[in-house]
Amino acid sequence: MTNSIEDVCEQAQVIVLVGSNPEEAHPVMGMRIRRAVERGAKLIVVDPRDIGLASKADIHLKLRPGTNVAFANGMVNAIIAQGLVDKGFVANRTEGFDELAAMVADYTPEKVAEICGIDARDLMQAAALYAKADRAPIIYCLGVAEHSTGTEGVMSLSNIAMVCGKFGKPGCGVNPLRGQNNVQGACDMGAGPADFTGYQKVADPDALAKFEAAWGVRMNRTPGLKATECFPAMIEGRIKGLFIFGEDPIRTDPDTHHVIRALESLEFLVVEELFMTETAKYADVILPGRSYAEKEGTFTNTERRVQRVRKAVDGPAGPRLDTEVFAEIMRRMGYDQPSLSAAQIMDEIASLTPSYAGISHARLDGAQVAGRGIQWPCPSADHPGTPIMHVEQFSRGKGTYSLAQYRPSAELPDAEYPLVLMTGRVLAQYNACAMTGRTEGLNEISGESFIELNTVDAEQLGVVDGDRVRVASRRGEIETTARVSGKTNPGQTWMPFHFQDGNSNWLTNAALDSIAKVPEYKVCAVRVEKA
């Protein structure tokens, strides 16, 4: 997030919510957005479904799944056509505007309306409402990212903000909602295969030399694979062993048959977990893990806020800390490791990571920031943290525009599979249900698989609300329960991915975004028939 949660919810005059259902996937954020609307903020919802916040929206662009790039290009076209460009910001803070303007010239409201399945007048109104506001954030989530053009979709949203001068200001910016509480922290710590901590690149000779000096070892110069690239590599025999912790890809990754085949191709699989998961059933070795409540450390949340986590309970005897497990494996593989406390590890992170350089457990525990955390970048111990990014300049100097053209999704409906399937989350459950699925009260609220069908499609299929149906794609078939309504448009369906009794990921497509390698969870072609 370029801005802070409080900033975008309390300061905003207009909120643009794209591909996100925060009331169910990020309920605290969803509550705050609803409260912002109740105090008078205007809301533009860009989503293929009638999510809860759509009923509170001033404009709901119920666009066709997979058309986010066309929508964003159409917004820029409409902003230019209505004379609403922030010319000063564009001239002083960005470069390449003429090329962008030439590219989006073809994305007239009428053409975009046809691509997206929306009203051209609504697009023009949304562009004007956003551009004219002094404080207007764009908030997005996986409905933008989980497409074969997901990265281009995100970058295209930044075009909208730049042409309107809405970076580096309160109540503005482009703000992703991270799917889990420490996803941002994991990325910050170098979880990307081409990154060291703080997004320092393995390909950067200076960064490489710094880490080699600190760790006393020659580093591999070749970037690794992204998580989704690992599964084909297992089948091809390029990856022979795998260590999985805190992840259940058999339930959460697309095309479950493909994931199982990949795991069965391994010579050795280790899973570290709190509970027996679907993935753990395939492991050669299962190591017991510790929960967040049994650990010391930090989480970095969606707004870049580094917060302390303190051990609250003693768990069962036996499970060791993740850091102890990793260090012991490294020792046994010939690379001696010291035993470090969580605070010492944080100090090492700070010593090697400019954006975290001013953060320590001692400072996070101190009276000045206790309970509030610190937002990176925080380059020194006396720096207060950075609530708003890109205030005076972008990290590259001047901002540059994405020139991505709209491309259809990798798999579109046809005569054999005539419906589009989207996937997502429900409020009562969390990801693979490893923890929430063991909570009886939550299972009573929502404990079984279902598929949302539009009323028109259901009538043609002879299906009524509550019927059992078979759902098939080119990759698999499941049985689930129909929920018939107008939440989706005709020709479109939606399923949660939480439930093993009819998991949508047996159906989803493992087509990957060309840049970030994110799977296209949000669009695949399916057939539905009464069971």
Residue 75 contacts residue 100 (beta carbons within 8 Å): no
The per-residue pLDDT for 6 is 92
Nearest to 361 by CA among 348, 352, 353: 348
Global model pTM greater than 0.85: yes
Per-residue pLDDT of the chain (531 residues; tens, 9 = 90+): 999 999 999 999 999 999 999 999 999 999 999 999 999 999 999 999 999 999 999 999 999 999 999 999 999 999 999 999 999 999 999 999 999 999 999 999 999 999 999 999 999 999 999 999 999 999 999 888 888 898 999 999 999 999 999 999 999 999 999 878 898 999 999 998 999 999 999 999 999 999 999 999 999 888 899 999 999 999 999 999 999 998 999 988 888 999 999 999 999 999 999 999 999 999 999 999 999 999 999 999 999 999 999 999 998 988 999 999 999 999 999 999 999 999 999 999 999 999 999 999 999 999 677 788 999 999 999 999 999 999 999 989 999 999 999 999 999 999 999 999 999 898 888 888 888 888 889 988 888 999 999 999 999 999 999 999 999 999 999 999 999 999 999 999 999 988 888 888 889 988 888 888 888 889 999 999 999
Element (H, E) at 527: strand 524-530
Q: Which two tokens stand for residue 191?
A: 């979880």
Three-state DSSP class for residue 311: coil
Residue 451 contacts residue 494 (beta carbons within 8 Å): yes
Q: Which two tokens stand for residue 304?
A: 């870049």
Q: How far apart are CA 472 and CA 371, in angstroms?
A: 48
The residue to which tokens 């100097």 are assigned: 397
The per-residue pLDDT for 319 is 93
The per-residue pLDDT for 302 is 93
Three-state DSSP class for residue 450: strand
Classify residue 437 by its DSSP letter. Answer: G
Q: Which two tokens stand for residue 187?
A: 């990325």
The per-residue pLDDT for 300 is 95
Three-state DSSP class for residue 362: helix
Q: Residue 257's CB: how many other CB atoms inside 10 A?
A: 12
Residue 7 contacts residue 32 (beta carbons within 8 Å): no
The per-residue pLDDT for 499 is 84
Q: Which two tokens stand for residue 327?
A: 């260090």
Q: Residue 81's CB: how many other CB atoms inside 10 A?
A: 15
Q: Which two tokens stand for residue 45?
A: 């919802």
How far is the CA of 462 from the CAs of 390, 456, 465, 477, in angstroms? 54, 10, 10, 19
CA dihedral 189, 193, 195, 197 (to 10 degrees): 10
Residue 419 contacts residue 526 (beta carbons within 8 Å): yes
Beta strands in 7-97 (DSSP E): 14-18, 42-46, 59-61, 94-95
Residues in the chain: 531
Helix orientation angle between 97-104 and 150-163, rounded to the nearest 10 degrees: 110
